[in-house]
Amino acid sequence: MKNQKLLKNDLLTINQRSRKVIDINQIIMLRGYANYTCFYLKNGKQRLTAHTLKYYENELDGRGFLRVHRGFIVNQNCILKHDTASSQLFLMEGHEVEVSRRRRGITRGL
């Protein structure tokens, strides 16, 4: 079961046991809390899962998501503004994320 691909088309399986899926186009950002990940969705809801950010980073690779900080992965399509002076990203639904020093290079051109 662990070797199965969790991403089919635009659906991401977040819970194997209950087979909960999320449309990746609805994800604004992912925030890591130790060994848990919280999904922030466009409809204002949040989903907490018992996997690390690294786990989802591998699954979402090449799908328009950026790891901008040790604790955050953001959907590029949900970035409204990039303030280079303060290294802040302003996202949909009023979310703000700071870009870490080491990852500022990947946000150039946003």
pLDDT one-digit tens code per residue, 31-78: 999 999 999 999 999 999 999 999 999 889 889 999 999 999 999 999
Domain ranges (residues) in the chain: 7-107
Cα–Cα dist 14/19, whole Å: 7
- Which pLDDT does position 55 carry in this prediction? 92
pTM of the model: 0.85
- Which pLDDT does position 96 carry in this prediction? 95
What is 7-107's CATH superfamily? LytTr DNA-binding domain (2.40.50.1020)
| Residue burial 20-57, b: 16+ Cβ < 10 Å; e: rest | eebebebbbbbbbeeeebebbbeeeeeeebebebeebb
What is the band of 7 on the pLDDT scale with cuts at 50, 70, 90? low
Q: Is the pLDDT of residue 24 over 90?
A: yes
